[in-house]
Amino acid sequence: MIQRLRIPAGFAIAAVVLYLATPQGITILAGLPVALSGAVLRAMAAGVIRKDSKLATAGPYSWTRNPLYFGSFLLTAGFAIMSANWIAAALLIVPSLVVYPHVIRKEEGHLERLFPEDFRRYRASVPRFMPKFRRFEWSFSFQQYLANREYNTALGFAAVLAVFIIRWSKWRLI
């Protein structure tokens, strides 16, 4: 149930956040590197993962078993900072803290069924969520990035950033 509702709920929350946000130049500058690092991490991960056909362990998957979710969390945190509104920030962060643990456990069970031995070894050496940064072999594929439709994240990132900048510039003109 949570898995099915997370995307539509995300759009509804985004609309409320964009309405409530009162971004300032300083909050945009503070949140931008956080959100951008999340978008980049998601892009890197999307260029590696081949869902259900091969266990992803290369690239950012050598840092965390869930770089897509960790990247989404960074994006969310960055936008929460940019919003300069505590209610908007809570609307962004709290669902992440509720949804991600549930979805991650469900997906890990699925991966353990698909790749029993490989996933157990992988799980023993790579943290679930918080990354353990180390050197990795680059394995990004732009074709895989496109196949996973990760460009939607880049477009969404640009749109939200544009709205925050427009809202900020309107406040400055008043």
Residue-wise pLDDT for 34-50, tens only, equals 999 999 999 999 999 99
State yes or no: pLDDT of 173 exceeds 60: no
Q: Give the C-alpha separation, 78 to 70, whole Å.
A: 12
87-107 mean pLDDT: 92
Per-residue pLDDT for 128 more than 80? Answer: yes
Mean pLDDT throughout 90-116? 93
3-state secondary structure of 23: coil
CATH class of 2-173: mainly alpha
The rounded mean pLDDT for the chain is: 90
- Give pTM, 2 decimals: 0.89
Mean of the pLDDT values across residues 9-30? 90
* pLDDT value for 52: 87
Residue 89 pLDDT more than 80? Answer: yes
Q: What are phi and psi of 66, to 5 degrees?
A: -135, 60
Using CA atoms, how far apart are residues 66 and 121, in angstroms rounded to an integer?
A: 15
Q: CB within 8 A of 101, min separation 6: which ones? A: none
